[in-house]
Amino acid sequence: MNTGQQTTRRLAARAGRSVCWSCKDTLSRKYASAAAAALPTDDQSLQHIPPVAQPSSQDSYGIKTGVVLSRPPQITRDLHPLESAFFLYQRRLNERTALPFTRYFYYKKRTAADLEWKRKIKQRLTPARDIGRYKGYGEESWNDELLMGAKESDIHHQVEKLIEDAEQTGAQDGDEAEPVPGASNSKKEEEKIERPMPRVTEADLKNDVKSLNRQLQRTLYLLVKNQEGRWIFPQDTFAQETLHSAAGRVLTESCGENMHTWVVGNAPIGYYQQDYQNPIKTLSGLRELGAKTFFMKARIMAGQANLEGNKLGLTDFKWLAKEEVQGEVDKSYWHSVKNMLAER
Amino acid sequence: MALRELPFRTAATLFKDARPAIRAAQPTSCRHASTEPIKEVEDASSFSIPPPSEELAKSFDPIERSKLRRRGKEPLPPSRFQYRPPKYYRGPLHPHQPPPVSDPASRLFVPGPFSLPRLEQTYQSTIASDLLTLTYQHYPPGYRAPKAPQRLREWVGDHPYFKNRPLRPPRGKGDVLRLITPPRTFRNIPKITRVTVHSMVPEAQENSAYLHIAGMVVQAITNVRATPHKARENVVAWGLREGKWVSVTSDLEREDAHHFLSKLIDVVLPKIKEWKGVPASTGDGSGNMSLGLTSDHVALFPEIEVNYDSYPPKMIPGCYITIHTDATNDKDAFLLLQSIGIPFYGKRK
CB contact at 8 A, A262 and B126: no
Length of chain B (residues): 349
Q: Does B146 touch chain A (CB under 8 A)?
A: yes
CB contact under 8 A, A94 and B60: no
CB contact under 8 A, A93 and B113: no
Q: Chain B: nearest CA to A140, how far in angstroms?
A: 7
What are the chain B neighbours of A90 within 8 Å (beta carbons)?
111-114
A254 located within any domain: yes
Do A312 and A213 have their domain in common? yes
Q: Three-state secondary structure along B57-96?
A: HHHCCHHHHHHHHHCCCCCCCHHHHCCCCCCCCCCCCCCC
Do A85 and A156 have their domain in common? yes
Q: Does A87 touch chain B (CB under 8 A)?
A: yes
Owning domain of residue A10 = 3-47
B281 located within any domain: yes
B141 located within any domain: no
B252 located within any domain: yes
Do A258 and A280 have their domain in common? yes
Q: Chain B: nearest CA to A309, how far in angstroms?
A: 31
Do A63 and A89 have their domain in common? no
Label residue B36 by pLDDT band (50, 70, 90): low
**CA–CA gap between residue B12 and residue A15 (Å, rounded):** 7
CB contact under 8 A, B144 and A46: yes
Do A152 and A291 have their domain in common? no
A298 located within any domain: yes
A162 located within any domain: yes
ipTM computed for the complex: 0.80
Q: Does B162 touch chain A (CB under 8 A)?
A: no
B211 located within any domain: yes
Do A101 and A206 have their domain in common? no
What does DSSP say about strands A287-303 and A316-320: parallel, antiparallel, or unpaired? unpaired
Q: Which residue of A has its CA nearest to B135?
A: A265
CATH number at residue B316: 3.30.1440.10
Q: Does B118 touch chain A (CB under 8 A)?
A: yes
Domain count, chain A: 3
Last residue of a domain, one of A167, A189, A221: A167
Do A93 and A153 have their domain in common? yes
At A59 the pLDDT is 86
Q: Which residue of A has its CA nearest to B104?
A: A93
Write down the pTM of the prediction: 0.80
One pLDDT digit (tens) per residue for chain A, 344 residues: 444 445 545 544 554 445 555 555 545 544 444 444 444 444 444 555 555 556 667 888 999 999 999 999 999 999 999 999 999 999 999 999 888 898 888 999 999 999 999 999 998 899 999 898 999 898 888 898 888 888 898 999 999 999 988 888 877 655 544 444 444 444 555 568 889 999 999 999 999 999 999 999 999 999 999 999 999 999 999 888 899 999 999 999 999 889 999 999 999 999 999 999 998 888 888 888 999 999 999 999 999 999 998 888 899 999 999 999 999 999 999 999 999 999 98
Q: Does A91 touch chain B (CB under 8 A)?
A: yes
B220 located within any domain: yes
Owning domain of residue B204 = 198-345
Considering only CB atoms, B133 lies closest to which of A52, A98, A267, namely A267
CB contact under 8 A, B6 and A12: yes
Considering only CB atoms, A265 lies closest to which of B136, B141, B306, namely B136
At B231 the pLDDT is 93
Q: Does B114 touch chain A (CB under 8 A)?
A: yes
Question: What Cα–Cα distance (Å) separates residue A143 from each residue in A93, A208, A255, B60, B332?
Answer: 11, 47, 59, 13, 49
Burial annotation B96-133 (CB, 10 A radius, 16+ → b, else e)? eebeeeeeeeeeebebebbbbbebbbbbbbbbbbbbbb
Q: In the beta sheet, which residues pair with residue A274?
A: A291
Do A321 and A207 have their domain in common? yes
Q: Which residue of B has its CA nearest to A141?
A: B63
A15 located within any domain: yes
Q: Chain A: nearest CA to B138, how far in angstroms?
A: 8
Domain count, chain B: 1
Q: Does B186 touch chain A (CB under 8 A)?
A: no
Cis omega before residue B113 (within 30°)? yes
B268 located within any domain: yes
B331 located within any domain: yes
CB contact under 8 A, A106 and B307: yes
Last residue of a domain, one of A143, A167, A191: A167
Considering only CB atoms, A12 lies closest to which of B2, B104, B145, namely B2
A183 located within any domain: no
B78 located within any domain: no
Do A100 and A70 have their domain in common? no
